[in-house]
């Protein structure tokens, strides 16, 4: 199969699957088979692109041009390849988890859930492979709109309120800031293509470029740079599989992915060094990392704590991109992959706890590790990855970020990374500690009385897989590193 | 060219004109509908033929009745009005496909054939305004379309339709009279009514007071017919109380044709130098346009009657179109024309979808529509597609409009205008979302019986319009190429 068809397959397959899921909605077993089959096929398609990409074969396809000179076009490059690999692999795992969770909790409207999920994945693939900002914007918006029904899945007042926040911030920032920034880029440079080294140097004055950088950074609301982060905690009203794949991987990574794409391929690292606001964005990212971690410390609701942790971890990627050294750019790419595996594990563990024990607060988790050893074991691995301790993969990306920061003597970034690592430890380790070492708060009952055990098998299977992935990524980082090297042209 | 092809410009107007008395003679609703529908199909085919001819041969001139201009009336077709003719006749055809079921529900027996008669006249008037090359003839057709639309609006079921129609009649007549005074003054000064002659003779006397007055009268008169803020007061009631078919047709076409005439007079007859450099038309259009964008959308947010909501939204959207005109560059005029086309598509789709809802539940108030999402999924799909297009979501026609408008504003160096455009478009998100939340989130109100999907004869045209909103968001060659070529034809002197 030629490269063109592979790309079209990767983008089109989830969309086709959403249609099939809708048609088979009457029979849950058939419907879930379609989801799983689509997820596996998608991963095979994306996986088969990897060798081609590593061999340096050009993979490109151009569709129609809604605006003359600006085409809907897709091209595979290292960053997008990484993102697509991670997202498509985790879709398989998350689908297994979804089946366990949605059935275990008797959730309503499951067909709509799977349909929207597939559309969201299709948008993610399109975004990952977008050849230009125009295509990326289309997929970015379609990702927002396809996840809205998932966020408001429960259709109650809280869901509706959160849905409004979600849309207002994501649609608002993208329409008010991102779209004008893209059109301004088009008017100023006459191009929207992602090109190695950027397209702005020599065409846009540093003053205008500096303003554009800020507009881009705040326009990409999905990257959750403070104060545009509030949609992410709001999105936690969604069922946990949505939080796990979309609000720990697809949607938020789409945000930071766009940030890295824009910094590397639109501005270019050399041009960014001329801009006065590049440092400002770096400080904003540092501020977000620390502040979000502090807020996370104070959250008792487990999913909200994870959400704020995500806000903080996303800004690592922005920080790494703005350190402006090739090593830290590699760190940014690695962190997109690494954080995805770690955070999805944590969310799936939260979902497992909810399904088995109906507990949502951190303070209720004392002793739960003995009832749910697999779940909490995986949780511990995910937590270690967030902190950045070997043998979890989180160490890898932090290592590259620190190396890059030291290389260009960006000591602010070094300090932020060190302090936030301590904060990460402070809000994750007590959970692990309580779960395994504290006695169960029984409220007068015998702790050994009949209660819940592990979560349903599909859930446990899914979260153990991603936890194992977190460890394996540390032990065998080969392909990821190779892609990262390609990104910075080494 | 020979045979029938040579007479297309005349046929464009004559065919729907003759359909009107035939409807009267037919006397029966079904037959009258068939006559108008066939006439409208022929008009669409004619418009397509004319568009093709302008692409092949450039501007076409047709002396009506063989009387050569400037003594006789001349019809002139170039890409600019071929574009408008195509839009008007195509929307009319789709809306007529939709009409029978809706008219049977909303208009009393015995008046239905009169309704189709008026519809044919309205179509004739709108096509005539667009095609003619004679300034006085514009007025004649303006009156034909206006008088018939007063009658059409008055046919609405609600008693308030009568006051709405009367309000429109008063304001519309003032607008038309202003236009006529302007044309009269020009005739006094130049001795001609032919547009090409006017264009040649005005520069020599452009500083004289009557010409200045004529320009002011014509601009204000047309702005009134186009419902530019603050002259829009007739519009919300007219759209809200008219029969649904009429709302869909008029919202998509009537104001657009007036805007086309405004473009023709400003850029071709008077010339951009006179209008924008010697006179401050830039600000005269820009300020009301910006206020319209905000005031229209803001009022729309507070409407509980969805037809009124869309009517106020139209006021805002007309603001976007006028904004493009006010930029006075080729890119701005092209953006305005693209939005004229796309806004026609989205409003036709939305009003048709509302007509489907009215057909089933007899109301288009937000609270009555609660929870319909599940019961009328296809109608809702059309409503969502139209609503997304109105918001300018990517892959819909509305996005293309927004893209070109913002690009034109950037090219003119007016970045603050870009800020205003995107901010006001966020207001549209609020009112469209209020609608979608009501449809999908609110529980079904007590006492409403289960409703079925709208009849197929209404649903299919609605879906066709909704699909057009998506199609023209992907394949934009037709509107964009026509609009860009039209802009270069309309603007006879570049000022930027």
Model confidence at A444, pLDDT cuts 50, 70, 90, reads: very low
| pLDDT at residue B108 is higher than 50 | yes
Note whether B407 contacts A183, CB cutoff 8 Å: yes
B420, closest residue in chain A (CA to CA): A176
Note whether B410 contacts A183, CB cutoff 8 Å: yes
B472, closest residue in chain A (CA to CA): A66
Note whether A66 contacts B400, CB cutoff 8 Å: yes
Give A171's contacts in chain B (Cβ within 8 Å): 426, 429
**Mean pLDDT confidence for B212-232:** 92
pLDDT over 70, % of chain B: 99
CA distance A299 to chain B (A): 30
| pLDDT at residue A446 is higher than 70 | no
A184, closest residue in chain B (CA to CA): B410
| Contact pairs from chain A to chain B, CB under 8 Å | 65
Q: Closest partner residue to A175 among B422, B433, B441, by Cβ?
A: B422
Q: Give the model confidence (pLDDT) of B384-416 as tens digits.
A: 999 999 988 888 999 999 999 999 998 888 888
Q: Closest partner residue to B406 among A155, A171, A180, by Cβ?
A: A180
Note whether B393 contacts A145, CB cutoff 8 Å: yes
B481, closest residue in chain A (CA to CA): A68
Mean pLDDT of chain A: 86
B408, closest residue in chain A (CA to CA): A187
Model confidence at B471, pLDDT cuts 50, 70, 90, reads: very high
Give the contacts of B337 (CB within 8 A, at least 6 positions apart). B80, B83, B263, B324, B479, B482, B483, B486, B487
B349 domain-assigned: yes
Give B410's contacts in chain A (Cβ within 8 Å): 180, 183-184, 187
Chain A stretch 138-197, residues whose beta carbon is closer than 8 A to a beta carbon of chain B = 138, 141-142, 145, 152, 155, 160, 164, 167-168, 171-172, 175-177, 179-180, 183-184, 186-187
The pLDDT of residue A442 is 59
pLDDT over 90, % of chain B: 56
Beta bridge partners of B305: B365
B482 domain-assigned: yes
DSSP for A371-386 reads HSHHHHHHHHHHHHHH
Least trusted range by pLDDT, from A54-68, A447-461, B132-146: A447-461
Give the contacts of A185 (CB within 8 A, at least 6 positions apart). A133, A192, A199, A200, A212, A266
Residues of B with CB under 8 A from a CB of A: 388, 392-395, 400, 402-404, 406-407, 410-411, 415, 418-419, 422-423, 425-426, 429, 433, 437, 440-441, 473-476, 480
> How long, in residues, is chain A?
490
Q: Closest partner residue to A186 among B400, B407, B474, by Cβ?
A: B407
Q: Give the model confidence (pLDDT) of A153-166 as tens digits.
A: 888 888 888 888 88
Note whether A180 contacts B474, CB cutoff 8 Å: no
| Secondary structure of chain B in HEC code, one letter for each residue | CCHHHHHHHHHHHHHHHHHHHHHHHHCCHHHHHHHHHHHHHHHHHHHHHHHHHHHHHCCEEEEHHHCCCCCCCEEEECHHHHHHHHHHHHHHHHHHHHHHHHHHHHCCCCCHHHHHHHHHHHHHHHHHHHHECEHHHHHHHHHHHHHHHHHHHHCCCCCHHHHHHHHHHHHHHHHHHHHHHHHHHHHHHHCCCEHHHHHHHHHHHCCCHHHHHHHHHHHHHHHHHCCCCCCCCHHHHHHHHCCHHHHHHHHHHHHHHHHHHHHHHHHHHHHHHHHHHHCCHHHHHHHHHHHHHHHHHHHHHCCCEHHHHHHHHHHHHHHHHHHHHHCCCHHHHHHHHHHHHHHHHHHHHHHHHHHHHHHHHCCCECCCCCCCCCCCHHHHHHHHHHHHHHHCCCCCHHHHHHHHHHHHHHHCCCHHHHHHHHHHHHHHHHHHHHHHHHHHCCCCCCCCCCCCCCCHHHHHHHHHHHHHHHHHHHCCHHHHHHHHHHHHHHCCCCCC
CA distance A480 to chain B (A): 33
| pLDDT at residue B318 is higher than 90 | yes
Give B432's contacts in chain A (Cβ within 8 Å): none
Domain that holds residue B317: 280-496
DSSP for A334-349 reads HHHHHHHHHHHHHHHH
CA distance B315 to chain A (A): 21
Nearest to A28 by CA among A111, A97, A104, A98: A111
A208, closest residue in chain B (CA to CA): B415
Measured CA to CA, the distance from residue B86 to residue B83 in angstroms comes to 5
Name the pairing type of β-strands A60-62 and B74-77: unpaired
Q: Give the model confidence (pLDDT) of B347-371 as tens digits.
A: 999 999 999 999 888 888 888 888 8
Model confidence at A451, pLDDT cuts 50, 70, 90, reads: low
The pLDDT of residue A447 is 46
- Half-sphere exposure of residue B381: CA atoms within 13 angstroms, side-chain side: 13
The pLDDT of residue B14 is 92
Q: Closest partner residue to B403 among A67, A141, A172, by Cβ?
A: A67
Least trusted range by pLDDT, from A272-286, A474-488, B390-404: A474-488
B168 domain-assigned: no
| pLDDT at residue B155 is higher than 80 | yes
Chain A stretch 58-77, residues whose beta carbon is closer than 8 A to a beta carbon of chain B = 64, 66-68
A207 touches chain B (CB under 8 A): no
Q: Give the model confidence (pLDDT) of A12-41 as tens digits.
A: 999 999 998 888 888 888 888 888 899 999
The pLDDT of residue A56 is 76
Domain count of chain B?
1
The pLDDT of residue A450 is 52
Q: Give the model confidence (pLDDT) of B127-138 as tens digits.
A: 999 999 899 999
Q: Give the model confidence (pLDDT) of B8-29 as tens digits.
A: 889 999 999 999 999 989 888 8
| pLDDT at residue A489 is higher than 80 | no
Note whether A141 contacts B392, CB cutoff 8 Å: no
The pLDDT of residue A441 is 67
Q: Closest partner residue to A167 among B419, B433, B476, by Cβ?
A: B433
Give B411's contacts in chain A (Cβ within 8 Å): 187
Mean pLDDT of chain B: 90
The pLDDT of residue A208 is 87
Note whether B406 contacts A171, CB cutoff 8 Å: no
| pLDDT at residue A181 is higher than 50 | yes
| pLDDT at residue B88 is higher than 50 | yes
Give long-range contacts, CB 8 A cutoff, 24+ apart: A441-447. Answer: A441/A364, A441/A366, A441/A367, A447/A367
B142 domain-assigned: no
Give B473's contacts in chain A (Cβ within 8 Å): 66
Q: Closest partner residue to A64 among B392, B423, B474, by Cβ?
A: B474
Q: Closest partner residue to A142 among B394, B402, B423, by Cβ?
A: B394
Note whether A180 contacts B418, CB cutoff 8 Å: yes
Q: Give the model confidence (pLDDT) of A225-236 as tens digits.
A: 888 888 888 888
**Mean pLDDT confidence for B291-312:** 92
Name the pairing type of β-strands A73-75 and B60-63: unpaired
Q: Give the model confidence (pLDDT) of A394-435 as tens digits.
A: 888 899 999 999 988 888 989 999 999 999 999 888 888 888
The pLDDT of residue A490 is 67
**Mean pLDDT confidence for A217-226:** 89
Whether the CB-CB separation of A110 and A102 falls below 8 Å is answered with: yes
The pLDDT of residue A445 is 47
The pLDDT of residue A443 is 52
Q: Give the model confidence (pLDDT) of A353-394 as tens digits.
A: 888 888 888 888 888 888 888 888 899 999 999 898 888 888
Q: Which two tokens stand for residue B238?
A: 């007219």
| pLDDT at residue A347 is higher than 50 | yes
Note whether B422 contacts A176, CB cutoff 8 Å: yes
B419, closest residue in chain A (CA to CA): A176
Q: CA–CA distance from B355 to each of A1, B240, B248, B447 (Å)?
A: 49, 11, 9, 21
Place of tokens 């909810």: A354
* pTM: predicted TM-score of the whole model, two decimal places: 0.88
B371, closest residue in chain A (CA to CA): A155
Place of tokens 């989130």: B441
Give B437's contacts in chain A (Cβ within 8 Å): 160
């Amino acid at each position: 199969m030629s490269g063109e068809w592979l790309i079209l397959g990767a983008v089109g397959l989830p969309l086709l699957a959403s249609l099939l899921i809708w048609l088979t909605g009457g029979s849950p077993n058939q419907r879930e088979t379609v989801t799983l089959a689509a997820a596996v096929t998608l991963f095979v398609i994306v996986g088969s692109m990897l060798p081609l990409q590593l061999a340096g074969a050009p993979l490109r396809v151009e569709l129609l041009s809604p605006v003359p000179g600006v085409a809907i076009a897709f091209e595979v490059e290292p960053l997008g390849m990484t993102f697509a690999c991670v997202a498509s692999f985790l879709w398989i795992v998350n689908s297994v988890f979804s089946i366990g969770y949605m059935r275990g909790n008797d959730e309503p409207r499951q067909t709509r859930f799977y349909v929207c999920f597939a559309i969201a994945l299709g948008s993610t693939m399109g975004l990952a492979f977008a050849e230009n900002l125009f295509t990326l914007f289309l997929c970015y918006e379609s990702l927002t709109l396809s996840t809205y029904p998932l966020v408001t899945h429960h259709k109650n007042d809280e869901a509706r309120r959160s849905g409004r926040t979600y849309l207002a911030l994501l649609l608002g920032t993208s329409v008010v800031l991102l779209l004008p920034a893209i059109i301004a880029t088009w008017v100023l440079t006459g191009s929207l293509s992602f090109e190695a080294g950027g397209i702005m140097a020599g065409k846009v004055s540093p003053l205008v470029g500096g303003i554009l950088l800020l507009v881009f950074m705040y326009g990409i609301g999905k990257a959750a740079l403070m104060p545009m982060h509030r949609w992410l905690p709001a999105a936690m009203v969604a069922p946990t599989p949505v939080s796990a794949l979309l609000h720990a991987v697809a949607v938020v990574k789409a945000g930071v992915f766009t940030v890295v794409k824009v910094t590397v391929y639109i501005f270019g690292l050399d041009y960014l060094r001329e801009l006065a606001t590049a440092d400002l964005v770096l400080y904003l990212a540092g501020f977000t990392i620390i502040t979000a971690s502090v807020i996370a410390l104070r959250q008792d609701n487990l999913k909200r704590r994870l959400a704020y942790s995500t806000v903080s971890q996303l800004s690592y990627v922005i920080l790494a991109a703005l350190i402006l050294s090739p090593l830290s750019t590699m760190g940014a790419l690695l962190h997109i992959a690494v954080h995805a595996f770690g955070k999805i594990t944590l969310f799936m563990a939260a979902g497992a706890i909810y399904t088995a024990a109906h507990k949502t607060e951190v303070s209720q988790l004392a002793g739960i590790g003995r009832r749910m050893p697999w779940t909490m074991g995986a949780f511990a691995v995910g937590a270690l990855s967030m902190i950045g301790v070997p043998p979890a993969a989180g160490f890898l990306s932090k290592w590259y970020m620190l190396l890059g920061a030291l290389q260009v003597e960006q000591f602010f970034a070094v300090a932020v990374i060190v302090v936030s690592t301590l904060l990460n430890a402070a809000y994750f380790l007590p959970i692990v500690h309580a779960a395994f070492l504290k006695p169960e708060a029984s409220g007068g009952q015998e702790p050994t009385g009949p209660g819940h055990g592990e979560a349903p098998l599909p859930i446990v299977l899914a979260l153990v897989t991603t936890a194992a992935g977190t460890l394996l990524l540390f032990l065998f980082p080969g392909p990821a590193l190779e892609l990262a090297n390609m990104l910075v042209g080494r | 060219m020979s045979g029938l092809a040579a007479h297309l410009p005349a046929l464009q107007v004559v065919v729907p004109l003759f359909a009107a008395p035939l409807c009267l003679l037919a006397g029966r609703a079904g037959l009258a509908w068939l006559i108008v529908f066939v006439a409208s199909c022929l008009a669409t085919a004619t418009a397509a033929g004319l568009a093709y001819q302008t692409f092949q041969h450039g501007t076409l001139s047709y002396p009506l009745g063989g009387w050569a201009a400037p003594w006789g009336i001349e019809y002139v077709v170039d890409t600019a009005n071929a574009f408008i003719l195509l839009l008007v006749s195509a929307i009319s055809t789709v809306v007529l496909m939709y009409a029978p079921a809706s008219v049977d529900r909303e208009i009393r027996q015995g008046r239905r054939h009169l309704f189709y008669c008026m519809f044919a006249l309205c179509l004739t008037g709108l096509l005539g305004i667009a095609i003619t090359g004679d300034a006085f003839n514009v007025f004649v057709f303006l009156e034909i379309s206006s008088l018939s639309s007063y009658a059409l609006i008055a046919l609405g079921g609600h008693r308030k339709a009568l006051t709405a129609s009367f309000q429109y009649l008063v304001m519309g007549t003032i607008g038309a009279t202003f236009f006529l005074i302007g044309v009269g003054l020009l005739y006094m000064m130049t001795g001609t009514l032919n547009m090409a002659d006017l264009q040649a003779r005005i520069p020599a006397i452009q500083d004289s007071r009557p010409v200045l007055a004529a320009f002011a009268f014509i601009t204000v008169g047309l702005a009134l017919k186009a419902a530019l803020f603050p002259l829009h007061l007739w519009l919300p009631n007219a759209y809200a109380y008219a029969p649904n078919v009429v709302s869909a047709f008029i919202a998509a076409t009537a104001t657009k044709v007036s805007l086309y005439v405004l473009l023709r007079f400003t850029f071709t007859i008077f010339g951009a130098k006179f209008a924008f450099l010697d006179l401050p038309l830039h600000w005269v259009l820009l300020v009301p346009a910006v206020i319209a964008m905000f005031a229209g959308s803001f009022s729309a947010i507070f409407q509980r009657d969805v037809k009124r909501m869309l009517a106020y939204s139209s006021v805002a959207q007309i603001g976007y179109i006028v904004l493009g005109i006010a930029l006075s560059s080729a890119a701005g005029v092209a953006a305005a024309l693209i939005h004229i086309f796309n806004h026609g598509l989205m409003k036709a789709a939305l009003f048709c979808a509302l007509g489907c809802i009215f057909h089933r539940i007899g109301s288009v108030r937000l609270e009555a529509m609660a929870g319909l999402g599940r019961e009328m999924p296809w109608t809702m799909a059309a409503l969502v597609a139209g609503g997304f297009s109105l918001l300018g979501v990517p892959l819909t026609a509305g996005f293309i409009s927004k893209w070109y408008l913002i690009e034109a504003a950037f090219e003119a160096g007016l970045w603050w205008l870009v800020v205003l455009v995107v901010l006001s478009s966020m207001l549209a998100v609020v009112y469209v979302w209020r609608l979608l939340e009501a449809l999908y989130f609110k529980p079904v109100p007590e006492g409403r019986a289960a409703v079925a999907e709208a009849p197929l004869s209404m649903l299919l045209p609605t879906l066709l319009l909704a699909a057009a909103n998506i199609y023209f968001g992907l394949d934009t060659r037709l509107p964009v190429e026509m609009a860009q070529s039209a802009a270069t034809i309309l603007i006879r002197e570049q000022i930027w």
